[in-house]
Structure 1
Amino acid sequence: MKKKIQFSLVYRDMWQSSGKFQPRKDQLERIAPVIIDMGCFARVETNGGAFEQVNLLAGENPNDAVRAFCKPFNEVGIKTHMLDRGLNALRMYPVPDDVRALMYKVKAKQGTNITRIFDGLNDVRNIIPSIKWAKEGGMTPQCALCITNSPVHTLEYYMNIADQLIAAGAEEICLKDMAGIGQPAFLGKLTKMIKDKYPEIIIQYHGHSGPGLSMASILEVCQNGADIIDTAIEPLSWGKVHPDVISVISMLKNEGFEVPEINMSAYMKARAMTQEFIDEWLGYFINPGNKIMSSLLLGCGLPGGMMGSMMADLGGMRTTINNVRKKNGLDELSMDDLLIKLFDEVEYVWPRVGYPPLVTPFSQYVKNIALMNLLTLEQGKGRFVMMDDSMWGMILGKSGKIPGTIDPELVELAKKQGREFTDVDAHTLLTDALDDFRKEMAENGWECGQDDEELFELAMHPEQYRNYKSGQAKKNFLADLQKLKDAKLGANLSPEQLSAYKHAKADAVVAPVKGDIFWEFSGEGECAPTVEPFIGKEYKEGDVLCYIQAPWGEFVEVPAALGGKLVEINAKRGSKVQKGDVIAYIEREHE
């Protein structure tokens, strides 16, 4: 029999690659014992990039969720791991050193055993400090090689990075095939090179299903010495996510590897429970396209997890581009036409910006440059006209060293705009920030929390944490969820049925007279309205919802019906309404 292969369930990334949010604490507590009962997982991914941020956006405390999810796995000896974006830690932009160091102390205390550290540029300078902090915090540093295909990303290129990371103290190496475009034979050779030189180093393979190469890649890396394979479970396997553990175990068992058995009763329970979470609320934020594999991803190399947001961006840009084409007497482009144009433009842009691996946040930057190019080309302005500081920051080296060479056209453009290239160690550009955040906690009367975990959340996600503490995040989330639920129901109803549904569910506030809508005044007798109230705002019976300025000049108060929660606004500030028009819907609390 061949060597023993272990498996990790990437429960966080299953959701991350499917939609916007993660399960709540109570849901994670329910699923953890079932995952344990499956009996086939040596590891489970319990938190990391985006996990904590979206918890805050949902009005939930991420520290409570991480502790609760890790605890049962800690008790039975299943190792937990998290994803760390190196210089960006758990967010999309750089994090000061003192905040990154605190993260490891906090996460170790919360029960996370392993940190998977990656850098979107494979710049070891952005990874090596985290190795030290992970060890100091009592965690195992696993360092990732971001896999992509280019003339720059050779076996020797990756082996050189692995050498540097292992010399700096990395105890494990992850082959992070974030777009699933890694060629199986190449991945097998790379695995063998690392194992031959460092037989004691654990190698874990993480490959998304995306374009369909992942099963072949799994077989190749296992044949060449890999130790652990990341997998998923239904109903969130395959598509843009990860292969299902059942198929992976079946394939490897047939090849003679020693693999664990699956408790299928527990698998079916976990499957049903995950579907329950989707049906309850998480599914409203999942793009159906992320459940579909696509070989088109091979050409552009974009990670499947960003396809949902990319299609939304493309849809918005399509209208603008088609308006330009219409004025120029050209045929309009369909979404498929535009998608192919975007993929082709990514292939054009990518080598010219130095072949950055297409992973967060650099995949977004390259896609955005390509998308803007499509518009400016249609406008006759050429390429690289609309690029923000983040895109330029990548090109100039402010996020780390670009693997390839920047095109002379961009070098000259930077010079014309007074921009300077740098080879500085990116993390040294940031100043420590914890003292300021500690002061803010004290001024607000907020507790720093167990092991300073609340201080860490504020420092890592300042805007989201403040909204969470104020309660605004929960209100916004519930309003968004209700809107999506209503939209889903409305898609299956006729206009008459939808109107009846809304009236049964909420009170329609109608205009008592015709005139112009004004929302709240800034002071008695003044006509200076503030911004419109937010969806989810609560009203009591007798409260004023808004004002209508009648044609004869009088301001007429419009009461908020019987009170409740504002769930829809049908008349914008300053718009004209006729008597009887619906201004808004307010949902009553039904007994």
Structure 2
Amino acid sequence: MKKKIQFSLVYRDMWQSSGKFQPRKDQLERIAPVIIEMGCFSRVETNGGAFEQVNLLAGENPNDAVRAFCKPFNEVGIKTHMLDRGLNALRMYPVPDDVRELMYKVKHAQGVDITRIFCGLNDVRNIIPGIKWAAAAGMTPQGTLCITNSPVHTVEYYSNIADKLIEAGAQEICLKDMAGIGQPAMLGALTKEIKTKHPDILIQYHGHSGPGLSMASILEVCNNGADVIDTAIEPLSWGKVHPDIISVQSMLKNEGFDVPEINMNAYMKARTLTQEFIDDWLGYFINPANKHMSSLLLGCGLPGGMMGSMMADLDGIRKVINGTLKSKGEKELSIDDMLVKLFDEVAYVWPRVGYPPLVTPFSQYVKNIALMNLLTMTQGKGRFVMMDDAMWGMILGKSGKVPGNLDPEFIALAEKQGRKFTDEDPHTLINNALEDFKKEMDENGWDYGQDNEELFELAMHPEQYRNYKSGMAKKNFLADLQKAKDAKMGSKLSPEQLAAFKHAKADAVIAPIDGQLFYEFNGDGECAPCLEPFIGQKYKEGDNFCYIQAKWGEIVPIPAAIGGKLVEVAAKQGAKVRRGTTLAWLERPQD
């Protein structure tokens, strides 16, 4: 018989790769004993990136949830692990050193055994401090290699990074194949290389199912020395998530590996409970597309977990692009046309920004650059004209060094815009902040919490924590949940019923005069032949919604009343409208 393979259940990532939110504390407490009863997991992912933040957004205390979920696993010797974004820790932007150091003390006290520390750029300067802080706090630091497929991401490239992480104190190495595009043969060779040089280092493989390579990759890494495999369970396995434990166990058992048996009665209980959580409320925030695999992901390398948000962004931009195409008399694009164009544009942008592995937050940056390029090219403005500071931060080196070479176009564009490149250690660019957050806690009379966990929560997620403490987060969440339920109910209505339903919760924007409707005004006395707004676009009170050119030539701005979200456009760009005509419907903003 071949070596023993351990299994890990990535319960946190199952939800993150499916939808927006995580189960509540009471739900986690219910399913933990059932996961233990399954008898096949030596590890469970209990928290980390995209766990605590979304708990706060739902008005829940993530510290209570982490402690409650970890406790039963701690008691039976099942190791718990978390996801740690290195320089960004548990959020999407850089975290001061003193807050990162506190994180490991808090997480260890809460019952988390292992921290999976990764950098989206594989810059060891963003990982090594976390290795040292985690070890000092009593945690097991797991150094992570973000896997992708490019000319610069070779076995030698990754092996050299693993050497540096192990030298710095990493006790384990994770191969994080976040998009599932790592080629099986390369992953096998990399596993063998690391194991040959470091036979005592445990290797854990984490691969998403998205494009369909994950089962072949699991077999390759196991045959070359991997020790632990991340898996999922129904109803959230496969799709953009991870392979199911049943299939992985069966494959490896048939290959001759020593694998644990699965208590199928407990599996079915866990499956039923997870579906119950979906039906209860979590499913309202799950994009159905995330339940499907797609070979298209191989071409662009984007992680499956962001497909839901990407499709929403894509549909909004498509409406704007189609407005421009229509005004030019050109053929409009379907969502499939747009998807292919976006993937092609990502393939164009990615090498030019230095092949950053497409994982949070760099996958979002590259996708957003590509998406904006599609829009601005349609408008005749060319590429790279709508890039924010976060996108530029990746290019300029503020988050670490990109693996490949930047296109000279970006170097010239940065110089033209007065932007400065840096090769400084990213974490040294951020000032410590814990004392300021202590002052805020004191001024508000807030308790620092057990093991300073509430202080840590404020320092890690300031805006979300303040909204949580004020009660605004729970109020907003309940409003969002009601909207999601309303939308689901609306999908079952006839067009007439749906319109009535939308209008009941919205205000009409009415034409005050006769004239010709325009949705933009270029400010020099003429209306612009521009685009209609897209459904979902938001307006603040006082914003102009559109303009009407009166018969006598005056341009009259039409306000968006008290503001809100656009749910229906009733009058087209350039239409002749009469006084009293309904132009659009804006859903009223929540109190």
Query: TM-score interval w.r.t. the shorter chain?
Result: 0.7 to 0.9
Per-residue deviation, 1:321: 1.0
5+ unaligned residues in a row in structure 2: which ranges? 513-539, 542-563, 569-578
Distance 1:51 1:65 in 2: 10
Counterpart secondary structure, 1:35 = helix
- Aligned residue number for residue 371 of structure 2: 371
- Aligned residue number for residue 492 of structure 1: 492
- Aligned residue number for residue 302 of structure 1: 302
Count of residue pairs brought into register by the alignment = 532
Deviations 1:132-162 (A, max 9, x none): 1101111000011000011111111001100
Question: 1:498–1:410: structure 2 CA closer, same or farther, 3 Å change rule?
Answer: closer
Counterpart secondary structure, 1:404 = coil
Deviations 1:498-519 (A, max 9, x none): 799999xxx99999xxx9xxxx
Contact 2:502 2:567 in 1 (8 A): no
- Aligned residue number for residue 518 of structure 1: none
Partner amino acid, structure 2, of 1:5: I
- Aligned residue number for residue 167 of structure 1: 167
Distance 1:490 1:289 in 2: 19
Distance 2:132 2:432 in 1: 17
- Aligned residue number for residue 54 of structure 1: 54
Counterpart secondary structure, 1:8 = strand
Per-residue deviation, 1:328: 2.3
Equivalence map 1:125-204=2 (5 Å): 125-204=125-204
Per-residue deviation, 1:302: 0.4
- Aligned residue number for residue 312 of structure 1: 312
Counterpart secondary structure, 2:393 = helix
Per-residue deviation, 1:54: 0.2
Per-residue deviation, 1:420: 1.4
Contact 2:105 2:137 in 1 (8 A): yes
Deviations 1:477-500 (A, max 9, x none): 001101111111121123676799
Distance 2:500 2:82 in 1: 47
Report the aligned-residue RMSD: 2.8
Distance 1:290 1:397 in 2: 32
Per-residue deviation, 1:472: 0.4
- Aligned residue number for residue 289 of structure 2: 289
Deviations 1:158-201 (A, max 9, x none): 01100000000000000000000000000000000000110000
- Aligned residue number for residue 459 of structure 1: 459
Counterpart secondary structure, 2:476 = helix
Distance 2:271 2:502 in 1: 34
Per-residue deviation, 1:421: 1.1
Contact 1:509 1:586 in 2 (8 A): no
Equivalence map 1:316-331=2 (5 Å): 316-331=316-331
- Aligned residue number for residue 240 of structure 1: 240
- Aligned residue number for residue 224 of structure 2: 224
- Aligned residue number for residue 435 of structure 1: 435
- Aligned residue number for residue 398 of structure 1: 398
Distance 2:412 2:498 in 1: 57
5+ unaligned residues in a row in structure 1: which ranges? 516-530, 533-566
Per-residue deviation, 1:568: 11
Contact 1:210 1:240 in 2 (8 A): yes
- Aligned residue number for residue 332 of structure 1: 332
Contact 1:82 1:115 in 2 (8 A): yes
Aligned residues: percent identity?
81
Distance 1:509 1:385 in 2: 35
Distance 2:473 2:506 in 1: 26
Distance 1:333 1:277 in 2: 37
Distance 1:369 1:171 in 2: 37
- Aligned residue number for residue 519 of structure 1: none
- Aligned residue number for residue 353 of structure 2: 353
Equivalence map 1:114-133=2 (5 Å): 114-133=114-133
Equivalence map 1:498-537=2 (5 Å): none
2:35 matched to 1:26? no
Per-residue deviation, 1:3: 0.2
Deviations 1:29-61 (A, max 9, x none): 000000000000000000000100000000000
Question: 1:335–1:134: structure 2 CA closer, same or farther, 3 Å change rule?
Answer: same
Distance 2:507 2:221 in 1: 65
Distance 2:179 2:262 in 1: 27
Partner amino acid, structure 2, of 1:408: P
Contact 1:181 1:301 in 2 (8 A): yes
Contact 1:569 1:585 in 2 (8 A): no
Deviations 1:234-263 (A, max 9, x none): 000000000000000000000000000000
- Aligned residue number for residue 470 of structure 1: 470
Deviations 1:546-580 (A, max 9, x none): xxxxxxxxxxxxxxxxxxxxx99999xxxx999xx
Contact 2:297 2:303 in 1 (8 A): yes
Counterpart secondary structure, 2:81 = strand
Distance 1:479 1:317 in 2: 26
Deviations 1:80-129 (A, max 9, x none): 00000000000000000000000000000000000000000000000000
Distance 2:266 2:456 in 1: 36
Per-residue deviation, 1:584: 9.3
Counterpart secondary structure, 1:412 = helix
Distance 1:427 1:360 in 2: 17
- Could you state the TM-score of these two structures normalised by the residue count of structure 2? 0.86
Deviations 1:9-35 (A, max 9, x none): 000000000000000000000000000
Question: 1:76–1:499: structure 2 CA closer, same or farther, 3 Å change rule?
Answer: same
- Aligned residue number for residue 450 of structure 1: 450
- Aligned residue number for residue 554 of structure 1: none
Distance 1:122 1:498 in 2: 49
- Aligned residue number for residue 418 of structure 2: 418
Moved over 4 A (4+): 495-503, 507-511, 567-571, 582-587
2:275 matched to 1:275? yes
Contact 1:508 1:586 in 2 (8 A): no
Counterpart secondary structure, 1:204 = strand
Contact 2:325 2:332 in 1 (8 A): yes
Counterpart secondary structure, 1:229 = strand
Of 78-87 and 327-336, the range deviating more from structure 2: 327-336
